[in-house]
Amino acid sequence: MMEKSEGTLSPFVYWAQTDSVATLKVDLKSVKDPHLRIKEETVEFSANGVGAQGLKRYSFALHLSAAIDPDKCSLKVTDRQVDLTLCKTKKAWWPRLTAKPQKPAWLKIDFDKWKSEEDFDEDETRDIRRDFPEIYDKLQKEELGYKRESAKKIYLAIYNLLQFIGFSYVLIVMYIRHYKSGAESMEGTYEAVGPAMKFIQLMQFLEVLHPMFGYTKGSALTPFLQVTGRAIILFVMIEAEPRMQTKPVVFYLFLVWSMIEVVRYPYYITQLFNMENSILTWLRYTIWVPLYPLGFLCEGVVIIRDIPYYEETNRFSISMPNKWNFSFYLPTVMRIYLLFLCVPMMYFMMSHMYRTRVKKLGPKSWIRKYN
């Protein structure tokens, strides 16, 4: 194999692969007089062109980590770069391009081009970050010295962390108040943590947008129903009726909501970074069993207690006659929800959670032992 002399310049070379080919992008412009020599496990290239050191003669030689088929390899020269396509003799993902672990400083990984389809020109391609995360992470750490996270993952991690902090704040304040004053503290729960709860509740509407924009998997329907239902209880049933804000049921409702979320958000963070915590996973898919029915019960109590208040004030109700020729009586809607919609809604949410639990833990995992 050709050895470079000390005065030889090497261009920057960026490589990527599929299971059947490896590609090299040589960062040279205005290339002239290119020479390429390909053997079963070696690639040698030289050309005149504009590189990092200006217009000069550049060359490089690579001893590959696995065999390629010289007859099927190709060279493409453009004004901006030189593209080499190396066809592997056996379909496989290479852990690295070169035979030796120590790669030259001018050889870089083209992360943006990593795909797992054979045709690099296809519009619909999968990502090695999903298909082969261990290989991708290893290559990234070797190249950069650290694992580079996507902007989407960083955003989701920050969002989940902030939500965890918000619900933890609500729980801590409620606990301290109850520890100091006992049951008497319940009357001032909304005054103490209501603003924080309203803020984090509004933030939860982002969870409806996440699956719509591909940030998370699944349908937007389930988070929409859950977040919207909570928002109606919080802003219409409690915030809009001051007499409800001092009721003890608000304390229990906030307690249930917060206990669910201080488990859910840390679990999401661990999943983002592929970290498994068996206890946290079990809690995430089990704690809803007692808390979801308690949450629906507290919400039902809030609605029942609010019915006479809204009959008295007619707030949010529309009476005839009006220019729209339309009437709306909120207490009637509240009664219809309690009689006909509350139980089906609870059944829908709990069925969804049960299916996800079975998918994650299995049908016979209500009690597990962890070492």
Catalytic machinery residues:
292, 299
Residues contacting residue 302 through CB under 8 Å, at least 6 positions apart: 233, 237, 238, 244, 247, 249, 250, 253
Using CA atoms, how far apart are residues 58 and 9, in angstroms rounded to an integer?
Answer: 5
Task: Name beta bridge partners: 251.
Answer: none
Using CA atoms, how far apart are residues 139 and 95, in angstroms rounded to an integer?
Answer: 8
Residue 229: closest CA among 351, 357, 348:
348
Using CA atoms, how far apart are residues 351 and 213, in angstroms rounded to an integer?
Answer: 25
Q: Cα–Cα distances in Å, from 248 out to 23, 83, 140, 254, 258?
A: 66, 70, 53, 10, 16
Using CA atoms, how far apart are residues 161 and 138, in angstroms rounded to an integer?
Answer: 26
Using CA atoms, how far apart are residues 84 and 74, in angstroms rounded to an integer?
Answer: 6
Cβ atoms of residues 83 and 23 within 8 Å: yes
Using CA atoms, how far apart are residues 66 and 89, in angstroms rounded to an integer?
Answer: 8
Using CA atoms, how far apart are residues 123 and 141, in angstroms rounded to an integer?
Answer: 28
Using CA atoms, how far apart are residues 154 and 211, in angstroms rounded to an integer?
Answer: 16
Query: How many other CB atoms are found less than 10 A from the CB of residue 169?
Result: 15
Using CA atoms, how far apart are residues 207 and 230, in angstroms rounded to an integer?
Answer: 13
Place of tokens 């453009």: 78
